[in-house]
């Protein structure tokens, strides 16, 4: 019986030390792969044909992202992101198309790289983490007033700040761009791409 109690005590101490260890008053955290999920919202700016004629407020819209991800290592993670965008486009005077408000949807995969952990150490006590991300996926747009609807590839890149609230809950601030085919706005003119720039704030819950 005494041997069983001793083994149970050893197992409990071992499990307790997997996530953190305190030596000389310094807590050392040990990484374990984990899932996370969250949501972020914020303004977007659509940069497309006719941009030189814009009044900036005329192309400000709103974006929402819902995501689920997996941190595979201390620095590298992957996430699946559903994007819901409300976009404003002032139009091109020469096309006689004037301000258009339209919706688009996207589904993409992003890889993230935690710069704070790469430069320093894995630390759940750190107040702010800095990461970069990039990826790609598919974007759709309804026809609305455009000549046709749209379904095509997109590429994404950006950076993110994670503000730790608890060991499982973060507040986020990220900014990035989505690069699209030039005919996303229904017209092929000038630069060979259209761009949707975003700044979003949100929360992330980690299952660690």
pLDDT, tens digit (0-9, with 9 covering 90-100), for 95-134: 555 677 889 999 999 999 999 999 988 888 899 999 999 9
| Contact yes or no for 112/78 (Cβ under 8 A) | yes
Does the pLDDT value for residue 9 go beyond 50? Answer: no
Q: What is the pLDDT of residues 143-176, one digit of tens each?
A: 877 777 889 999 999 999 999 999 899 999 999 9
Distant-in-sequence, close-in-space partners of 45: CB < 8 Å, separation ≥ 6: 56, 59, 60, 61, 196, 197, 198
For residues 49 and 126, the model is more confident at 126
CA-to-CA dists, residue 124 to 32, 33, 75, 159, 162, angstroms: 12, 14, 13, 20, 11
- Global pTM value: 0.80
Q: What is the pLDDT of residues 50-91, one digit of tens each?
A: 655 556 677 889 999 999 999 999 999 999 999 999 998 876
Mean pLDDT of 175-197: 85
């Amino acid at each position: 019986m005494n041997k069983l109690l001793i083994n149970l005590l050893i197992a409990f101490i071992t499990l307790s030390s997997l996530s953190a260890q305190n030596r000389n008053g310094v807590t050392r955290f040990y990484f374990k792969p984990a899932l996370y999920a969250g949501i972020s919202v914020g303004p977007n700016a659509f940069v497309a044909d006719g941009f030189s004629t814009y009044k900036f407020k005329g192309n400000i819209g709103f974006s929402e992202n819902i995501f689920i991800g997996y941190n595979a290592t201390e620095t590298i993670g992957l996430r699946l992101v559903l994007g819901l965008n409300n976009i404003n486009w002032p139009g091109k005077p020469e096309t006689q198309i004037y301000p258009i408000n339209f919706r688009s949807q996207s589904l993409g995969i992003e890889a993230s790289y935690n710069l704070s952990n790469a430069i320093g150490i894995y630390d759940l006590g750190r107040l702010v983490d800095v990461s970069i991300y990039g990826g790609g996926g598919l974007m759709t747009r309804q026809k609305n007033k455009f000549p046709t609807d749209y379904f095509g590839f997109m590429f994404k890149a950006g950076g993110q700040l994670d503000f730790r609230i608890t060991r499982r809950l973060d507040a986020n601030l990220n900014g990035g761009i989505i690069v699209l085919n030039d005919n996303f706005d229904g017209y092929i003119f000038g630069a060979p791409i259209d761009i949707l720039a975003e700044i979003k704030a949100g929360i992330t819950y980690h299952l660690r």
